[in-house]
Amino acid sequence: MTPRRVLVAASLLVVVAAALAAWTVVERVVADRDLRDARHASSVETARAAQARAALATTRAAVRAVPSLATLPASLRQVADLDTRSVSAIEAAVDAGLRGDVAAYNAAVGNLNALNPDYDTALEALRVQVNAALLALDPLTR
């Protein structure tokens, strides 16, 4: 091999080595930047998750603190029971009317009318409970 070819080969090797070194440095810088960005994104998401957990805990505590929510099922069952009794009284009145039995019809209507005060009381209690719950939960909607 002639000295000129050795010099060209060595020069070519130096250029390739320099290009490889430059490429490695660039890749390292890009990798460092990507890692920094990923760490930042992770910290942002961790902070958001912590905020979401805190908001959820606050909401759960607020919902548990609404006493009227605990009494709703019993009030709803009472209204449902009165609905069932009202339907039965109406059916009895209709049946008595179809049979032409005036006394049975009047008795069924009397039974239905007797339910009205209890029905009104139960519905008013339910309305008060629902309104109290809605007012207590209102701050959570803001």
* Inter-axis angle of helices 102-137 and 3-64, nearest 10: 130
pLDDT averaged over every residue in the chain: 86
Q: What is the pLDDT of residue 16?
A: 79
Q: What is the pLDDT of residue 87?
A: 93
Task: Using a pLDDT cut of 90, give the percent of the chain over it.
Answer: 39
**For 39-50, how does the pLDDT look when each residue is reduced to its tens digit (9 = 90+)?**
998 999 999 999
pLDDT above 70 for 126: yes
Q: What is the dihedral of CA 88, 91, 97, 100, to 10 degrees?
A: -80
Confidence of residue 114 (pLDDT cuts 50, 70, 90): very high
pLDDT at 22: 82
pLDDT at 110 > cutoff 70: yes
pLDDT given for residue 65 in this prediction: 66
Q: What is the mean pLDDT of residues 67-83?
A: 84
Q: Domain map of the chain by residue range?
A: 1-65, 67-142
Phi and psi at residue 2, to the nearest 5°: -85, 155
Mean pLDDT value of segment 3-14 = 80
pLDDT(142) > 80: no
